[in-house]
Amino acid sequence: MPARRWRLVLADDHHLVLDALRTSLADRYDVVGVAQHARGILDEVERHHPDLLLLDLSLPERNGLELIPELRERSPRTRILVVTMMADRVIADRAIAAGASGFVPKDAGLAELELAITAVMRGGTFISDHVPQLSNRVSLVASHPALAALSPRQHEIILLITEGLTSAEIARKLGLTERTVGWHRTNIREKLGVDSPNGLVRFAVLLQPDRAGGEGA
């Protein structure tokens, strides 16, 4: 008798990513649901109680990190594998501490994603080698302890600033208004002791010296 195929729910805020994941994984796993928003993810997980949820962290309405404990409460047997654009050790550690079993950046590739799925479904914890160890790369919090005071959403926003995204681009990515992003940026500056919008961009560039940041409206 063939082994039962693992049942997956896919969660990402981009249609193209969901379609690509479904196409790539459908011949080996049963994709029983997809969702793009926090409410939909909670509903799909509660409806299907899948073996595994592939979860993006950049979601409209709520940060994926904040969603993990609630997902674990609603479906304790569902394992959570974070699949995100952010290859940051601090975010990875926060995700695992919140209840995820694995963390893979989106640029890691399908082969590594399948390795992660197998490891997580066999009861292990998987963090991609594409996520730098603290010994090899100074993490954001290690490089500036004041970053520890940021909320998960604020931490996510400053990571996007390090990627060179403008306020308008961050707003579109996270499903927020530009006004809300501006409010977060002001609070981030206050917590970090940065006295101007341009100073925040310069701070972000120092965190990721291989990238150039841009100040948005």
Got the DSSP string for 57-96? S--SSS-HHHHHHHHHHH-TT-EEEEEES---HHHHHHHH
- The answer on pLDDT for 15 being more than 70 is yes
| pLDDT level of residue 54 (50, 70, 90 thresholds) | very high
Range of lowest pLDDT (1-10, 101-110, 144-153): 144-153
- CA-closest candidate to residue 184, choices 153, 205, 162: 153
Mean pLDDT along residues 95-99: 90
Quick one: pLDDT band at residue 135, thresholds 50, 70, 90? very low
- What pLDDT band is residue 210 in, cutting at 50, 70 and 90? very low
Work out the number of other CB atoms within 10 angstroms of the CB of residue 184.
21
Burial code of 5-38, b = ≥16 C-beta within 10 A, e = fewer? ebbbbbbbbeeebbeebeeebeeebebebbbbeb
List of domains in the chain: 7-127 (3.40.50.2300), 140-207 (1.10.10.10)
CB distance 110 to 104 below 8 Å:
no
158 pLDDT exceeds 70?
yes
Task: Report the C-alpha gap between 217 and 214 in whole angstroms.
Answer: 10
pLDDT at 136: 38
Average pLDDT over residues 39-59: 94
- Is residue 139 predicted with pLDDT exceeding 60? no
CB contact at 8 A, 168 and 159: no
In terms of DSSP bridges, do strands 52-55 and 30-35 run parallel, antiparallel, or are they unpaired?
unpaired
Hey, which residues does 35 pair with through a beta bridge?
Answer: 11
Eight-class DSSP state of 164: T
To the nearest 10 degrees (0 to 180), the angle between helices 167-174 and 152-162 is: 130
pLDDT of residue 180: 92
Q: How far is CA 199 from CA 7, 116, 138, in A?
A: 47, 39, 21
Calculate the average pLDDT of the chain.
83
Residue of higher predicted confidence among 116 and 57:
116
Label residue 75 exposed, middle or buried (CB < 10 Å: 0-12, 13-18, 19+): buried
What's the rounded mean pLDDT across residues 96-116?
Answer: 92
Average pLDDT value for residue range 139-164: 70
Burial 124-163 (b: 16+ CB within 10 A, else e): eebbbeebeeeeeeebbbeebeebeebebbbbbbbbbbbb
CA distance linking residue 109 with residue 130, whole number of Å: 10
DSSP 148: G
